[in-house]
Structure 1
């Protein structure tokens, strides 16, 4: 009887639970359940709340904005009947919310437009502006355009801020609607101001606007200041150098407390020539107004830092014109060679694919998954980097299987073909040349970089695409061993300087002394000299023992001993590097000879923790320095090893970067000063400086150039710096880049 009652009771409870579950499913989920706690679907399956889902940081922020906007009644859900809000629908609502906000922001911008923002729409207004401009020592200037390609797009308006007259204008010249003046008429009226070098121009990212004026037949002169470049000198760690983003971050210091919206935030994909003129005025005039005030604020900071001010005034600012001229000159691409070379590469790729199939089977060699399965599962090669198939990992596996060499060759051939030989001719502009971009402050050390194409990464074989025009030659002048020479100067180490002072080979001398072998055994091509070239870079830039061991094919302990032997042989170099580590620990920055700074905010505290932990490890291990294999030392508690591991990477990274910033940054400053001299020399001769790659300058010169003129070019570079060791320049002349002759051979053959 009791058993039957128990069964009946269980049955009733199950029925009640089922009914409760059914009723729960039939109920609409609450707002909290939809967003935060989740609910059961009609099928009884659990459903996560929108904010419980796997959301990116961006999506989470957007979803929270949508939730608040719905709760505040700003937007509705747009749902019908019993529809439940989903994550997809919520993200769609974010776009609706942003569009609604744009309209509100634009309306507010127009309503709150300052009284001294003026549209220039008539000839009389333009004439008054020109008259006022004549009384200005400098102005802030900007262009609005149909797009970002300076060789294809056009100016649709010009904005100018006049500091003395205290007003800011926008001159529409090619908007689709609204009263406006003809572009040629406006440019002719502004030409005296634009081309007058005595009227200073302040711009943000000036290079772009100079290109746009050239596009319409006006070469702007008199660049006084570029706020984009100056910001990189004042803080090379900025996450964004866009004007509006800088204004949002720093505007409170110079009178702009509200958020400044970017073009994309306000207009999305709308072209500026489609923007209404009242909106265009506020947006464009604010650009130059912001630039003007940012300039004043930055200048106040620079004037308190004389070396940085001088760096901007004497090097970076005049380099803008050099970059413009290099980009305008462009690269002449040999289209016929590209076609022939492309066919040759395709044939090589087919042959290499055959070798790969023999080695690894018929798989997709561009698929990391398929490749990893063959390498690590079937062939059981050593897994040194989480089943990676990148080039660095493949190089480390070269001795493990003969097919790896074919795979590396295949990677190189396909990249050469796809990224360069096939791609570069497609980027040629209407003038028949390829025009890239040179970026003078893109890197934190101040080194030049380039894009479209990246000349620094251009493979030697791809360089052959670039040829000299008829009647011209390509001349390349390259600083020889500039960074070791800078190290010799900065360290003051007499033994390290000695080879340079005596005109001897640096690497042979270093190898002989460090490896303790006769110098005759360290000649060019010897294993000792090759190892020293790699080892010196490790010393200069603090390469880890493990990386150096892989590069030299030795153990980590042997790599550490190599560094010890080097520092013992060259104590001045060791002292210099140690002094840099101490300086950055105290000051959280380092600087080049010319005062370019590399800042490491927050490093001091990391270094203190590192030193304390390293001290404890050394005491427990009874060593003078942290052992390379400290993980294996039993006397060190695991907790201490873990603590040290967390801080070791960041601290050693700053140590590497700090030494690198001084040496490489100083090399960058020297190269920039050399480019200024070369640019002036080439302009005087009617030649063109058209590119810079690493420590090399490339020029288009007359094919009748003389040896004396080549030596004058070299002197332009050598006179850019005065170190305690002599500088050296290597020069080649060529009709096709990459097929050059040393100057002595060129003129010997010419004779």
Structure 2
């Protein structure tokens, strides 16, 4: 028998197509398409629901993303299957918005870092500080030579734009992390960083990436050496400084916390803009630059603080990024300041040019330093005197309130008529629903009567059907529904409240017939009972005198006395140093008067943990 040699056969033909695999792919595609269509339908269903303006805008963006069929940045709607709810859609819309904001911010960061101008200098070596100081001195020397009288009206020999970056915006707690300045004749800007912190990996700072984050290995300056370098210049009143501060006077507060006081702060470009045009939509530096920049040489996109860093401190961000942003700030600040100065020179008219600048130079330019001095000094308060006034005014307020009820004859009939007026829609809704209830009751009674008559005619009154109908008829008659009319509609309001805006509006506009002049104070609004509108009415309408008396006592007690004393359930605004501290704002009211707001940034009971029992 001969040996049999096994033969190896190679099958080089392609395998037959797997029909089931192709079917599975097709089914998956169909399911994906069906799911997408279902998601779009769910979004459309939510768009037909009641949404806030912001929610509707977000959901419409989500609808566009799903409708386009793109899947790249499209958040998932479904969490665990089942019906897609309104909350699911809003959550996904919010996620889409956040992702787009993050993507846009990343693009802006990359663009900013890639386009740093050659005359933007970010100093990170302490050894370079003397050279910076010399450039600052050279700017002052050049201005005194080339612009010998330009700033004479402001009482200074030179002028630069300055700014501090900080850990936040609280004028008493937050501290500076960097200083920037624009030197106009030298045409260069500087940023001196000294307080950036590495927050990578910390809770709440997951948004930081390698491009935008400050790293502990990154170089920055020593705080004490920077302050020693810049304070001699910033404390010189002969050399002027411009800031974009407004009411908070943030930069001047920061300097005091750093151990020196800025002198020569003769220009606040926010307040100057308010003097030029008090009706600006926004007085922020970036909105003003975006609006007027073409007039003073700023073209292209103007990124806001939130565009770059969101609603947070710049401290954990990359020094190069913050530095470019900070130098752009002082460049914008300088160009805006210079433009405002020239505009004030020719305002208010050709016949009287320079009057606005003269006014600003003699009054407004002195306010920043004065305001900060007042704010930090605070005011001593006679608490015993205020307590005596509280005891005097409280019974007078109660009497004034009682006089309102008597003067306007506010009784049950008044309250009922007021209720029917301000709740007319609710009353009409109740009448319609009551009519339907009566109709249903009448139909149900007729049905039960028919059953009863049928059983009685057939002599089957012993059946459960009969007894049930008798019991149900009794129940329906016992409902004793009130007639569906206004007289029988329940009251939504049972008493008049002088602090209720709707009640007050009825009394003023409906009961007393005072002509509505809200539009003179608040564009597009009607029937206002806001304090500023009411004050104008009180001056002109004799019929409102009882209300004016109540308002006067309430303002004295709730605005001036009780917040100081910490009485009537209010926390005292007296700070731990025993004084009241306010922030001042020139032109802070619609009439251009000075205004002040109390400081509310830190808890005044912070020292209670150190109290001991006697």
The TM-score, its normalising length taken from structure 1, stands at 0.47
Q: How does 1:230-269 map to 2 (within 5 A)?
A: 230-269=272-311
In the aligned structure 2, how far is the partner of 1:383 from the partner of 1:304?
Answer: 44
Q: Equivalents in 1 of 2:289, 2:110: separation in Å?
A: 21
Which of these two proteins has the greater Rg computed from alpha carbons? 2
Residue equivalent to 2:116:
113
Counterpart in the other structure of 1:189: 229
Matches within 5 A, 1:176-325: 176-177=197-198, 178=216, 179-205=219-245, 207-223=249-265, 225-302=267-344, 306-307=353-354, 308-325=356-373
Asked if the contact 2:168/2:175 (under 8 Å) is kept, the reply is yes
Shift of the 371–311 alpha-carbon distance from structure 1 to 2, 3 Å rule, reads closer
Assess if the C-alpha contact under 8 Å between 1:244 and 1:261 holds in 2.
yes
Match of 1:540 in 2: none
How far does residue 141 in structure 1 lie from its aligned partner after superposition? 0.8
Aligned residue in 2 for 1:103: 106
Alignment partners' CA distance in 1, 2:281 and 2:540: 37
Within-5 A mapping of 1:42-57? 48-49=47-48, 56=53
Deviations 1:213-263 (A, max 9, x none): 233332222335433233334433321111111122223444433332322
Cα distance in 2 between the residues matched to 1:321 and 1:396? 36
Q: Paired residue for 1:75, among 66, 73, 76?
A: 73
User: 1:151 touches 1:429 (CA, 8 Å); kept in 2?
Assistant: no
- Structure-2 residue corresponding to 1:417: 557
Against the structure 1 CA distance between its residues 384 and 302, is the aligned structure 2 distance closer, same or farther, given a 3 Å change threshold? closer
Q: Is the 8 A contact 2:121 2:191 kept in 1?
A: yes
Secondary structure of the residue that 2:315 maps to in structure 1? helix
Within 5 Å, which residues of 2 pair with 1:78-477? Answer: 78-80=76-78, 83=84, 86=89, 89-91=92-94, 93-137=96-140, 138-177=159-198, 178=216, 179-205=219-245, 207-223=249-265, 225-302=267-344, 306-307=353-354, 308-350=356-398, 360=410, 363-370=496-503, 382=513, 385=516, 391=534, 407-424=547-564, 426-442=572-588, 447-452=592-597
> Is the partner of 1:170 in helix, strand or coil?
strand
Q: C-alpha separation between the residues in 1 aligned to 2:556 and 2:223?
A: 43
Is contact 1:251–1:257 with CA below 8 Å preserved after alignment? yes
Gaps of 5+ in 1: 1-25, 40-46, 455-751
- Secondary structure of the structure 2 residue equivalent to 1:200: strand
How far, CA to CA, are the matches of 1:109 and 1:287 in structure 2? 13
Q: Distance in 1 between matches of 2:400 and 2:259?
A: 51
C-alpha distance in 2 between matches for 1:266 and 1:339: 50
Distance (whole Å) between structure 2 residues aligned to residue 387 and residue 199 of structure 1:
52
- State how far apart, in whole Å, the 2-side matches of 1:69 and 1:254 are: 40
- For structure 2, the 5+ residue unaligned runs are 1-33, 141-158, 199-215, 348-352, 412-494, 517-525, 566-571, 600-614
**How many residue pairs end up in the alignment?**
411
Kept in 1, the 8 Å contact 2:238–2:264? The answer is yes
**Secondary structure of 2:559's partner?**
helix
Q: Secondary structure at the match of 2:162?
A: strand
CA distance in 2: counterparts of 1:291 and 1:69, whole angstroms: 39
- CA shift, 1:438, in A, is 3.4
Change (3 A) 1:395 1:68: same
1:64/1:161 Cα in 2 relative to 1: closer, same or farther (>3 Å)?
A: farther
Contact 1:113–1:282 (CA<8 Å) still a contact in 2? yes
| Structure 1 CA distance for aligned equivalents of residues 41 and 264 of structure 2 | 63
Would you say the 8 A contact 2:55–2:90 is kept in 1?
no
CA contact (8 A) 1:237 1:444 kept: no
Displacement of 1:208 in angstroms is: 3.2
Residue 134 (structure 1) shift? 1.5
Alpha-carbon displacement from aligned partner over 1:381-408 (angstroms, at most 9, x marks no partner): 54755877674698599987xxx76654
The verdict on how the C-alpha distance between 1:28 and 1:395 changes in structure 2, with shifts beyond 3 A counting, is same
Between Structure 1 and Structure 2, the one with more helix by share is 1
Contact map agreement 2:266 2:365 (CA 8 A) in 1? yes
C-alpha contact (below 8 Å) 1:144/1:155 kept by paired residues: yes
The secondary structure found in structure 2 opposite 1:273 is coil
> What is the alpha-carbon distance in structure 1 between the residues aligned to residue 345 and residue 542 of structure 2?
58
Structure 1 window deviating more from structure 2 (332-341 vs 317-326): it is 317-326
Q: How does 1:454-603 map to 2 (within 5 A)?
A: none
Give distance in 2, aligned partners of 1:300 and 1:389.
Answer: 42
Quick check: 2:59–2:89 contact (8 Å CA) kept in 1? no
Output the CA distance in 1 between the equivalents of 2:499 and 2:297: 54
C-alpha change, 1:96 and 1:416, in structure 2 (3 Å) is farther
Change (3 A) 1:83 1:157: same
SS at match of 1:161: strand
CA distance in 2, matches of 1:49, 1:442: 42
- 1:688-727 to structure 2, matched below 5 A, reads none
Q: Tell me, yes or no, if the aligned pair for 1:121 and 1:180 is still in contact at 8 Å.
A: yes
How many angstroms apart in 2 are the aligned matches of 1:222 and 1:397?
45
